[in-house]
A and B are shown apart, each in its own frame.
Chain A
Amino acid sequence: MSENSAHHVVSPKIYAAILAALLLGTWLTVQAAKIDLGPWNIVLALVIATIKMSLVILFFMHGKYSPRRTQLVIISGFFWLAIMLGLTLTDYRARTPEPSRTANPPAAAVDRS
Chain B
Amino acid sequence: MHRTGELYGQFKTLDQQKETATLGMWIFLVTEILFFGGLFLTYTINRHEFPTAFGIGGNMLDLFLGGLNTVVLIASSFTMAMSVWSAQTGKKPLVTIFLSLTLLLGSVFLGVKVVEYKQKFDHRLVPGRNFDVTYCSKNPASVCGLTQKEHGDEIKEIREGVELEGGEIALNAHAQLYFSLYFGMTGLHALHMIVGAGLLLYLILQARKGRFDASYNTPVENIGLYWHFVDIVWIFLFPLLYLINRHLA
> Does B190 sit at the interface, judged by CB under 8 A?
no
CB distance from A106 to the nearest CB of B (A): 5
Q: How far is the CA of A29 from the CA of B248 in the complex (A)?
A: 16
CB distance from A113 to the nearest CB of B (A): 13
Of B19, B41, B53, B77, which contacts A6 at CB under 8 A? B19
Interface centre among A10, A69, A106, by most chain B C-beta atoms within 10 angstroms, is A106
- B215-244 Cβ-contact flags toward A at 8 Å (1 or 0): 000000100110011011001101110011
Interface centre among A7, A59, A74, A108, by most chain B C-beta atoms within 10 angstroms, is A108
How many residues on chain B are close to A (CB under 8 Å)? 61
- Across the two chains, which residue of chain B brings its CB closest to A46? B239
B-chain residues with CB within 8 Å of residue A67 when the two chains form the complex: 19
B-chain residues with CB within 8 Å of residue A29 when the two chains form the complex: 238-239, 243
Q: How far is the CA of A63 from the CA of B3 in the complex (A)?
A: 27
Of B30, B44, B236, which contacts A49 at CB under 8 A? B236
A-B contact count (CB 8 A): 161
Whether the Cβ atoms of B19 and A19 lie closer than 8 Å is: no
Contacts known (A30-B67, A76-B30, A81-B33); A19 close to B247, Cβ less than 8 A: no
Interface size range of chain A in the complex: 35 or more
Whether the Cβ atoms of B236 and A53 lie closer than 8 Å is: yes
CB distance from B119 to the nearest CB of A (A): 19
Whether the Cβ atoms of A84 and B41 lie closer than 8 Å is: yes
Q: How far is the CA of A78 from the CA of B248 in the complex (A)?
A: 33
- Across the two chains, which residue of chain B brings its CB closest to A2? B214
Which chain A residues numbered 36 to 75 have a C-beta less than 8 Å away from chain B?
36-37, 41-42, 45-46, 48-49, 52-53, 56-57, 59-62, 66-67, 69-70, 73-74
Q: How far is the CA of A60 from the CA of B78 in the complex (A)?
A: 7
Q: How far is the CA of A35 from the CA of B243 in the complex (A)?
A: 11
Whether the Cβ atoms of B67 and A26 lie closer than 8 Å is: yes
Q: How far is the CA of A60 from the CA of B230 in the complex (A)?
A: 13
